[in-house]
Amino acid sequence: MTDLKIGVVGIPGKWSTEALADAVETKTGFRLVIDMGRVTLDLATGGLHYDGHDLSTFDALIVKKISEIYSPHVLDRLEMLRMAEARGVRIYSRPEAIIRLIDRLACTVSLAAADVPMPETRITEDPSAALQAARDFGTAVFKPLYSTKARGMTLISGEDDKAGEDIAAFAAEHPVMYIQRKIDLSGQDLGMVFLGGEYLCTYARVKQGDTWNTAIHSGGKYEGFDPDPEQIELARRAQAPFGLTFTTVDVALTDEGPVVFEVSAFGGFRGVRDGCGLDAPDLLTSHILKDLGA
């Protein structure tokens, strides 16, 4: 056991956050779950205060989840953590890396710049261009720029007489429209997991019933999956530009070959447990302690 002081930034009471805090406590004897909604940054002193602790004096912070719901406000929380990093606190993953993934468009641009294959995608604020995209794609998935687990995603058929109205309703809440061709997932997509940039395992999210997506909150379930070397290399290439400590690359297998949907800022512990049979909190904590020289 080491005497390092490591805090876990996450959602108090959530399984993945608490499991990670348990793993840290087992290996260090110290346990603190940090709710960023209750953190105060004092720029005069550089202190980052939470529940009687100055986080800027910690050895490290592990960011399991920065907020329950993604929004531009989340970027402010990450900027607060950057101040602790500037004072020498090691943060896993680095706030700068996470910032590039919170906004779906920022992630997509980075993937496109790295020549990673993705579903056909268009971004616009113009309703007429959005309608044309829906018509060109046949059926399009309209995705919020800030969301997780398929929340807020809307299917719009370009053939539907109400397509224009549906687009207007989506744009009222999401003025910058992220529009992607709906592809046939054949009932599943993959979560390809990396720890410290090295491939760990792959699990499949398998849809249940008549839902159009495989998201677990829509009823999907995790299963094991054995990818081929080309699929692993694609996922490795997708996550490489971001430099994350722990991440999951979402991959779909299509008739034209595999495509990447996105790279997760935080990765999925439950998928690793249920689909791969591995203890992600323990593996992540061990990796971080090794990196810290413990």
List the chain domain ranges: 6-94, 121-181, 184-283
CA distance 78 to 97: 10
CA distance 227 to 155: 29
At 152 the pLDDT is: 85
Structure tokens at 57: 């004096």
* Equal fold, 6-94 vs 184-283: no
Closest by CA position to 246, among listed 265, 227, 261: 265
At 215 the pLDDT is: 56
**Sheet (strand 188-195) strand order:** 221-224, 198-206, 188-195, 246-254, 257-263
Given the structure tokens 């299509």, which residue do they identify?
254
Record: fold of 6-94: Rossmann fold (3.40.50)
At 211 the pLDDT is: 56
What is the mean pLDDT for each group of 10 consecutive residues in the chain (294 residues)?
Answer: 91 97 98 98 96 98 91 90 96 95 92 95 97 96 85 91 96 96 85 98 82 53 94 97 97 92 93 97 98 93
| The amino acid at 65 | K
CA distance 163 to 51: 50
| Length, in residues, of the chain | 294
Given the structure tokens 């094991």, which residue do they identify?
224
CA distance 34 to 80: 13
DSSP codes, 119-176: --EEEES-HHHHHHHHHHHSEEEEE-SS-STTTT-EEEETT-TTHHHHHHHHHHH-SS
CA distance 101 to 182: 22
Model confidence, pTM: 0.90
Q: For the domain covering 121-181, report its CATH number.
A: 3.30.1490
Beta carbons within 8 Å of 149's beta carbon, 6+ residues apart: 215, 216, 217
- Cβ neighbour number for residue 137 with a 10 Å cutoff: 21
CATH number for the 184-283 domain, one of 3.40.50.620, 3.40.630.10, 3.30.70.270, 3.30.470.20?
3.30.470.20
- Cβ neighbour number for residue 165 with a 10 Å cutoff: 11
DSSP codes, 256-289: TEEEEEEE-SS--HHHIIIII---HHHHHHHHHH
**Sheet (strand 90-92) strand order:** 33-34, 6-9, 60-63, 90-92
